[in-house]
Amino acid sequence: MNSIALRLLKTVSLLLAGLFGLFVFAGNLLDYNSNYEYVQHVLSMDTTFEGNKLMWRAFESSTVHTIAYWGLIIAEGAFSLLAFIGVYHMLKNIRSTGRQFNRAKSFGYYAFILGFTIWYFGFIVIGSEWFAMWQSQIWNGKETAMDITSVWIGFAILLALKDEDLDA
């Protein structure tokens, strides 16, 4: 048995994810230098363990730092936009058939694909493992990224629950 309440829960979950993405996106623009400094230190690997044998992976070019940072900002903005478009389509179809509501969730799926790419692949796989961010006492965002990814997993699973026709 499916209800409007479950559809609303899915929609609100996507809305909250979109708001999170919007706040991260805006924070990166409004506090550009602080967040740029984070990217700069991670890519430079300048706060990893002394004698680190992985230093050949480091990028010290400010051009690379700027490109990486703008790529991150654009991806976070796109994540938020996809989530908001998904919320719009879900609300528009909140009382539609199960089939129509299921189709309305596709932008939410795309948002979470991008969210996993940003926070899991970008911060955990690339930042933490490739650039050894986990070694830094100061510029380590691995735990935060893992927390965000865990929430996205829960939201994505909730979103993926099949919606049937509403009870009369």
* Residues 30-82: tens digit of each pLDDT: 999 999 999 999 999 999 999 989 999 999 999 999 999 999 999 999 999 99
Give pLDDT, residue 12: 98
Q: What one-letter code names the amino acid at 167?
A: D
Q: Are 116 and 94 in contact (CB under 8 A)?
A: no
pLDDT band, very low/low/confident/very high, at 2 (cuts 50, 70, 90): low
Reference 105, options 89, 120, 116, 94; nearest CA is 89
pLDDT band, very low/low/confident/very high, at 166 (cuts 50, 70, 90): confident
Reference 20, options 88, 91, 79; nearest CA is 79
